[in-house]
Amino acid sequence: MAADRTDAAGTRGGRPRHLDLDGLLADRATKVLVCCGSGGVGKTTTAAALALRAAEMGRRVVVLTIDPARRLAQSLGLEELDNEPRTVPGALRREAGDTGEGELQAMMLDMRRTFDEMVAGHTTPDRAQAIFDNPFYQTISTSFSGTQEYMAMEKLGQLTATGAWDLIIVDTPPSRSALDFLDAPQRLSSFLDGRMIRLLSAPARAGGRGLRKIVGSTFNLFAKAVSTILGGQLLADASAFVQAFDTLFGGFQERADKTYQLLRAPGTSFVVVASPEPDALREASYFVERLSSERMPLAGLVLNRTHPVHATLSGARAREGAETLEASQNDRVELRSAPSPGSEMAAAVLRLHADRVETAERERRVLGRFTRAHPGVPIIDVPAMATDVHDLDGLREIGRRLAS
Ligand SMILES: Nc1ncnc2c1ncn2[C@@H]1O[C@H](COP(=O)(O)OP(=O)(O)O)[C@@H](O)[C@H]1O
Ligand SMILES: [Mg+2]
């Protein structure tokens, strides 16, 4: 077990513990790392940066990205969505200390293809084809809310099963809520589960009108599916779909259970990513609580895009200074003496500094709420870079910050 994992550890001297990600990446016992958090906080960036860092530390790594920004995907060598891991060109810089054993592959999740693979893996080719051709399948495999989360888990299961890597880093979908990721299997299974199947297939066998009624009244999802499918084939298709899926469902369930167990197994760690904003940290809080109630191992929190202040000058002093300079500037104007451009500039810099100090203080206050609620969670913060992170050098820089 990695040294810095915690579920109930105390704080050190009232300050949050430091999240030692290098320790976690270097630990051969770490097999799966899941980066989660609410949308837009930096999950994909963190996952890719950790993967690159681990590979350069000598581990054989695959990173499963989900909806990476285009430029980031390109620099990972992911030109097309082919649902297969690809070697990242230029990822391994042989430096002193690099053992030369590392390897980095990356892939982008293709939700539809993963769904297809899952179906194909549980039935004969003929039956799989019949399912693929069914219009219900097409709607459900691409538009069921939670499918992307579920398929991310399925893909993780597949990657693990190959045994080809010694570390799998998983990005999670850009859901509004981080909890969607943990809820997905549940949701998909309650959708596919026996009750649903029975409800749909019983009236279908009885003649069809009942199905139409249930479809229309009870299940929005099906109502939606129905509205997108035209023609009299509808009931036959629905019934065929339900029956075909019925036979697969046990297999899906088993796989989902296995993956779920993998998430709780020693060797798996969760990294929760949040920006220093109230909403993102509130989400992070829910997620931390949820992981703990599911007994899933939390490594810690990455607080991404912070605005630390390096100068020691306080915000109030800076503002005061700016005001003094501006006042003396005004005096000059009144006295008709030459303006001093230097002092104007200095006042602007002081105001910028004061704003920055305020931002940093606000971020600290917001984080304070989180650390009081979860004093045992180790934290590392990553400052906001001047530009987006879209190439390997950018990822390396993020990696260094993650490890510092
Ligand atoms: N520390 C950072 N500094 C600057 N830009 C960042 C940083 N972290 C992430 N970004 C940028 O923010 C955007 C969102 O990040 P991303 O990793 O795609 O978020 P998520 O996967 O959580 O939606 C991207 O354009 C990324 O380059
Ligand atoms: Mg993302």
CA of 354 to the centre of ligand 2 (A): 33
Task: Tell me the domains of the chain and their CATH numbers.
Answer: 11-309+369-403 (3.40.50.300), 315-366 (no CATH)
How many whole angstroms separate alpha carbon 22 and alpha carbon 139? 43
CB 120 less than 6 A from any atom of ligand 1: no
Sign of the alpha-carbon torsion through 191, 193, 197, 199: negative
Out of 389, 390, 400, mutate this one to test ligand 1's pocket (max ligand atoms within 8 Å of CB): namely 389
Out of 43, 45, 180, mutate this one to test ligand 1's pocket (max ligand atoms within 8 Å of CB): namely 45
Instruction: Give 353-361 contacts, CB < 8 A, sequence gap 24+.
Output: 353/309, 353/311, 353/313, 353/315, 353/318, 354/315, 354/316, 354/318, 354/319, 354/322, 356/307, 356/309, 357/309, 357/313, 357/314, 357/315, 357/318, 358/315, 359/307, 360/306, 360/307, 360/308, 360/309, 361/315
pLDDT at 240: 77
pLDDT at 145: 64
The two tokens of residue 358 are: 């305020």
The two tokens of residue 4 are: 């810095």
pLDDT at 47: 98
Q: Which of 243, 282, 34 shows the shortest CA–CA distance to 149?
A: 34
pLDDT at 203: 43
Name the pTM for this structure. 0.84
Which residue owns the Cα nearest ligand 1 atom 8?
42
Over the chain (404 residues), what is each successive 10-residue block's mean pLDDT? 40 74 97 94 97 95 94 91 90 64 93 91 91 83 75 91 95 82 71 52 45 46 52 65 77 82 93 96 94 93 94 88 88 76 86 92 95 96 96 96 94
pLDDT at 266: 92
Distance of alpha carbon 332 from the chain centroid: 56
